[in-house]
Structure 1
Amino acid sequence: MATVDITRDHQLGKEKARERAQQLADKLAQKLDAKCSWQGDELTFKRSGADGCIVVSEDQVRVKVKLGLMLTPMAGMVKGEVEKALDKYLA
C-alpha cells in the first residue's frame, strides 16, 4: 500500500481554496468514479483501490491519497497528476 501526501501553500484564502478543491473533487469524481463528501474543511474521496482527503486551510491545501495494492505501482503517476492538478487549481 502506497500513500501520496502533498501539501501546497496558496494565497487564495480559505473560501476560494475550498471552491477550487471542490472543482478538483468534481474532476476526480468524473474521471475516477470517486465518491466525494465534505466534513468541515476536509473533503474525503473514495473509490475502489484508493481513498484519501483534501484538507483546506487559510494558506495551505493538503492532498493525501492511499493507494491499494493494485494501484501501488502507479504511485509516481498519481503523485504527478495530483501535483499538476494542484498547480492548475491553486494558481
Structure 2
Amino acid sequence: MADISIRQQHSLSHQGAKAAAQEVAEQMARDFDMALQWDGNVLLFQRSGVSGALTLLEREALLEIRLGFLMKAFAAKIEEKVAAKMERVFAAA
C-alpha cells in the first residue's frame, strides 16, 4: 500500500506525458538520490527508505510512493513538493 498517492489529470500525448513523467522523475532523483527505470508506461524508482512507481495512463498520471519508517515523518512535505511538480509539468499542454 502506498503512503503517498497522487493522481494528476493531463491532456498530453503519450510522448508528452512520458516527457513530463521523466521530468518529475529526474527532479525526484536529484532531490532524493533515487535510481530510475522505465518498464513500459511505468517509471519505477527506488532508494533506501523510498520506492514507488509513476504510471502513465491515457489521461492521467498516477504516482504511488512507499516510505520506510524513518521517511514517514517527511510524508507531508514530500507529497506537497511532488504534487506541485506534477501539476506544473502535466498541466503544460
Give the alignment's TM-score, normalised by structure 2.
Answer: 0.91
Cα root mean square deviation, aligned: 1.4
Which stretches in structure 1 are left out of the alignment for 5+ residues?
Answer: none
Name the residue aligned to 2:32.
32
Structure 1 position 3 matched with structure 2 position 3: yes
> Is residue 2:38 matched to residue 1:42?
no
Equivalent AA in structure 2 for residue 47 of structure 1? R
Q: Determine helix, strand or coil for the equivalent of 2:3.
A: strand
1:64 Cα shift?
Answer: 0.4
Structure 2 match to 1:65 = 65
1:13-24 equivalences under 5 Å are: 13-24=13-24
Within 1, Cα distance between the matches of 2:73 and 2:48?
15
- TM-score normalized with structure 1 length: 0.92
Is the CA contact 1:6–1:64 (under 8 Å) kept in the aligned structure 2? yes
Moved over 3 A (4+): none
Equivalent in the alignment of 2:85: 85
* 1:8 maps to amino acid: Q
Specify every segment of 5 or more residues in structure 2 that has no aligned partner in the other structure, as ranges.
none
Decide whether aligned partners of structure 1 residues 14 and 50 sit closer, same or farther in structure 2, where only a CA change above 3 A counts: same
Partner SS, residue 61 of structure 1: strand
**Is this contact kept in 2: 1:18–1:56, CA < 8 A?**
yes
